[in-house]
């Protein structure tokens, strides 16, 4: 489910620089499906942005969290976090290690709150709170 990601990324048909300074398009995509970077001046339809988001989740997020045996809510929350901060940052995090160990208190404590290029952004605070609420609903 991509609703949480779409809610916080919003759709933009034109490439723009996100708060972290990265060129972004559609629902926060930074690369095309072939891996080439998004460039200023490029455009996308909402239908293609949906496909690009789903392609990214299928190729780059879901395989990496498949072995965690998550509930659907946990998967949705984690997909939102990973889509926003990236696998590299998450794979090194205490949150990831805690989720693998089912150490929920440590996972909660280490959920990434500030990933706006080092800036505290109100939108990210709301997003993280919703991710946390969704992830820990059934625990």
Alpha helices by DSSP H, listed for the chain, are 3-9, 46-56, 62-65, 72-85, 87-91, 94-100, 104-109, 122-135
In this structure, the number of other CB atoms found within 10 A of the CB of residue 50 comes to 16
Q: How far is CA 73 from CA 29, 63, 69, 113, in A?
A: 22, 17, 12, 19
The residue from 9, 79, 95, 131 that is catalytic is: 9
Query: What whole-number distance in Å separates Cα of residue 24 and Cα of residue 38?
Result: 6
Tokens describing residue 122: 């109100």
∠98-102-107 over CA atoms, to 5°? Answer: 40
79 given a catalytic annotation: no
9 given a catalytic annotation: yes
Contact criterion met (CB below 8 Å) for 115 and 90: no
Catalogue the active-site residues: 9, 18
């Amino acid at each position: 489910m991509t609703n949480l990601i779409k809610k916080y990324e919003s759709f933009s048909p034109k490439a723009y620089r996100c708060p972290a300074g990265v060129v972004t398009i559609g629902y926060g995509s930074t690369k095309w499906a072939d891996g080439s970077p998004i460039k200023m001046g490029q455009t996308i339809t909402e239908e293609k942005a949906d496909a690009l988001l789903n392609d990214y989740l299928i190729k780059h997020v879901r395989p990496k969290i498949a072995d965690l045996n998550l509930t659907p809510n946990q998967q949705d929350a984690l997909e939102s976090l990973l889509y926003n901060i990236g696998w590299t940052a998450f794979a090194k995090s205490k949150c990831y290690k805690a989720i693998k160990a089912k150490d929920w208190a440590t996972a909660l404590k280490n959920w990434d709150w500030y990933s706006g290029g080092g800036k505290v952004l109100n939108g990210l605070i709301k997003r993280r709170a919703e991710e946390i609420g969704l992830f820990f609903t059934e625990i």
